[in-house]
Amino acid sequence: KAGVTQTPRYLIKTRGQQVTLSCSPISGHRSVSWYQQTPGQGLQFLFEYFSETQRNKGNFPGRFSGRQFSNSRSEMNVSTLELGDSALYLCASSLAVGNSYGYTFGSGTRLTVV
**Binds another protein by CB under 8 A, chosen from 1, 42, 62, 114:** 42
Looking at 19, 25, 26, 33, which residue binds another protein (CB under 8 A)?
Answer: 33
Interacting residues of 67 by C-beta distance below 8 A, sequence separation 6+: 49, 52, 74, 75, 77
Provide the Cα torsion 40, 58, 109, 3; round to 10°: 120
d(Cα 23, Cα 27) in Å, to the nearest integer?
12
Q: Could you give the string, one character per residue 56-85, with x where binding to another protein holds by CB under 8 A and - elsewhere?
A: x-xx--------------------------
Query: Angle 61-72-20 (CA atoms, 0-180°, nearest 5)?
Result: 40
With H, G, I as helix, E, B as strand and everything else as coil, classify residue 108: coil
Residue 53 binds another protein, judged by CB under 8 A: no
- Contacts with another protein in 2-31 (CB under 8 A)? 4
For the bound state, the minimum distance from the C-beta of residue 99 to another protein, rounded and expressed in Å, comes to 5
Least Å distance between CB 19 and another protein?
19
Establish if 86 lies at the interface with another protein (CB under 8 A): no
